[in-house]
């Protein structure tokens, strides 16, 4: 179970808090029910485009999408990647042909939602033209006959080759699309007073320019 809290400014989403809640085996209810919950992370959200504003968008179905995590190679990246992966069930329904992508680049996480389709190739016969020209000059014939050397040309040879077309993949974006940037990650549930931070963004030390 996850709890997601979205913040907005001028009716545009600009932040998201995600808290992972899981029950303990011995807990039956009450205050001890979510004792071992966590972690909690805060992401800054930008460049939000809803599904209706995506050009040539498709309609998402209720199928569980496949998950693609790209660029989460560091120690912190593994932590964040597993955290984001826990948002979706791990029994993807492949008949829906939907995929959710989290692409990490320069500490920005780009979120996309697509539907894919495969176009299988068909066997086709293709004629391949092979042309070879050979020129031979003999001094003996030139001296005897006094004529210019003759050029011997080999006729074109056509060979029918059986080739197989490549399988093509087409994508249709379903939306929404947005960009996230991790600001902090905290152990346990959201606690501003006594919470223990695993990592938080230090702007002056971590932000670098592209120059």
pLDDT tens-place string over residues 90-122:
999 999 999 999 999 999 999 999 999 988 766
Retrieve residue 105's tokens: 């680049």
pTM: 0.72
- Three-state DSSP at 175 gives coil
Q: Identify each DSSP E strand in the chain by its residue range.
A: 2-9, 12-20, 40-49, 66-70, 98-105, 108-119, 123-130, 157-164, 168-173, 177-186, 197-200
**Per-residue pLDDT tens digits for 23-79:** 655 545 555 555 557 799 999 999 999 999 999 999 999 999 999 999 999 999 999
Cβ contacts of 5 within 8 Å, gap of 6 or more: 16, 17, 19
């Amino acid at each position: 179970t996850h709890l997601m809290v979205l913040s907005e400014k001028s009716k545009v989403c600009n932040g998201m808090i995600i808290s992972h809640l899981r029950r303990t085996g011995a807990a039956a209810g009450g205050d001890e029910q979510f004792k071992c919950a966590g972690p909690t992370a805060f992401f800054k959200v930008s460049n939000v485009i809803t599904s209706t504003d995506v050009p040539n968008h498709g309609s998402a179905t209720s199928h569980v999408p496949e998950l693609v995590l790209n660029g989460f190679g560091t120690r912190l990246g593994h932590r964040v990647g597993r955290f984001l992966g826990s948002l979706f069930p791990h029994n993807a329904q492949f008949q829906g042909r939907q995929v959710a992508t989290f692409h990490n680049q320069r500490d920005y996480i780009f979120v996309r939602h697509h539907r894919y389709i495969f176009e299988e190739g068909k066997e086709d016969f293709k004629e391949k033209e092979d042309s070879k020209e050979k020129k031979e000059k003999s001094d003996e014939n030139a001296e005897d006959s006094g004529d210019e050397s003759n050029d011997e040309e080999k006729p074109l040879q056509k060979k029918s080759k059986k080739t197989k077309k490549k399988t093509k993949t087409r994508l249709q974006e379903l939306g929404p699309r947005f960009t996230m940037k991790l600001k902090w990650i905290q152990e346990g549930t959201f606690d501003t007073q006594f919470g223990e931070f695993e990592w938080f963004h230090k702007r002056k030390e971590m932000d670098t320019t592209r120059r």
